[in-house]
């Protein structure tokens, strides 16, 4: 029986975004504060997902061996390093989160049957790389607070209570929604980026956070006047709002995940026809586990 296992590791490192062929003003315009001469650092968290058949001992791989390989090939070299200097691959292509994940895959793949490398720069930004040339996934997480009432406009109060329970109470209730937006694109061979992160964050802010935050969704968002604002419908509407603006940035919207509470979340996939291929193999986000 085929199985996928995940191994977690971590390292602390610094990096700097700077292209010598650009002027100082051009670098600052493109990379902002990340151009500072001494760089900046992160506590990176790495998840390595590997696949295989269970052996006679009930294992895909001996985790002691997996741990040894990750330490030897990755963490012992990157921990307390300047990423721009430690590996030659980062001399040509900047050590962005997505490109670090790609190079980690390249260094581990001769030793482990990989299916995904997931790298967290911090709990609100991470990349997934799955071995497909320069293609990578980048996820930005954010949040907004809103109230809603679950009640279908064509049903009576009794019918709505039967379907939605106390969520149909007439004055509604609120949530601190946590949202994860995942985009898919090609890593630029020079900048190491699949998308301008600042531009992506602005799109999310303008299309979702600003109009949704501190609202009563049923009354303040026109779409939900006739559509019940379940977590599923909210995530679907957000994906529709983001799809075109994200595409205009040069990447594809892959997924919107909406976490309504620690117990309830949903995911809307945009660029895959097989949902199980997209999430069953890989660890959850750090923020979803907190």
d(CA 115, CA 282): 8
Q: Considering 34, 122, 124, 167, which one is annotated as catalytic?
A: 167
d(CA 286, CA 126): 9
Contact 141, 178 (CB under 8 A): yes
User: Which is nearest to 257 in space by CA: 185, 197, 208, 224?
Assistant: 208
User: Which is nearest to 112 in space by CA: 104, 120, 101?
Assistant: 104
Q: Considering 40, 91, 162, 214, which one is annotated as catalytic?
A: 214
Active site (annotated) includes residue 214: yes
User: Which is nearest to 139 in space by CA: 24, 290, 287?
Assistant: 287
Distances from the Cα of 140 to the Cα of 149, 203, 220, angstroms: 27, 11, 25
> CB under 8 Å to 195, separation ≥6 — which residues?
138, 183, 185, 249, 250, 251
Active site (annotated) includes residue 167: yes
Active site (annotated) includes residue 180: no
List, in sequence order, every residue forming a beta bridge with 18; answer none if it has no partner: none
Structure tokens at 192: 């190491």
Give the residue numbers annotated as catalytic, written as ranges: 167, 214, 260
């Amino acid at each position: 029986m085929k199985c996928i296992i995940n191994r977690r590791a971590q390292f602390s490192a610094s990096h700097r975004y700077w292209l010598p062929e650009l002027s100082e003003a051009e670098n600052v315009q493109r990379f902002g504060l990340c151009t500072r001469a001494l760089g900046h650092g992160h506590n990176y968290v790495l998840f390595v997902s590997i696949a295989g058949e269970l052996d006679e001992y009930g294992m895909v791989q001996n985790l002691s061996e997996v741990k040894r390989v990750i330490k030897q090939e990755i963490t012992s070299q990157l921990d307390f390093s300047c990423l721009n200097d430690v590996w030659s691959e980062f001399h040509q292509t900047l050590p962005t989160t997505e490109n670090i994940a790609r190079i980690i895959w390249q260094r581990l793949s001769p030793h482990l049957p990989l299916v995904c490398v997931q790298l967290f720069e911090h709990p609100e930004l991470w990349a997934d790389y799955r071995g497909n040339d320069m293609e990578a996934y980048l996820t930005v997480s954010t949040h907004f607070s809103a109230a809603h009432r679950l009640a279908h406009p064509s049903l009576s109060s009794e019918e709505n209570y039967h379907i939605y329970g106390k969520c149909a109470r007439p004055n509604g209730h609120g949530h601190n929604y946590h949202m994860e937006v995942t985009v898919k694109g090609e890593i630029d061979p020079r900048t190491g980026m699949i998308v301008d992160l600042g531009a992506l964050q602005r799109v999310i802010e303008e299309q979702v956070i600003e109009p949704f935050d501190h609202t009563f969704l049923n009354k303040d968002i026109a779409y939900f006047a006739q559509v019940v604002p379940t977590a599923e419908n909210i995530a679907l509407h957000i994906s529709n709002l983001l799809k075109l603006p994200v595409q205009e940035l040069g990447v594809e919207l892959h997924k919107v995940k909406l976490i309504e509470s620690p117990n309830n979340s949903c995911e809307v996939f945009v660029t895959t026809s097989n949902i199980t291929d997209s999430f069953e193999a890989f660890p959850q986000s750090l923020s979803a586990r907190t």
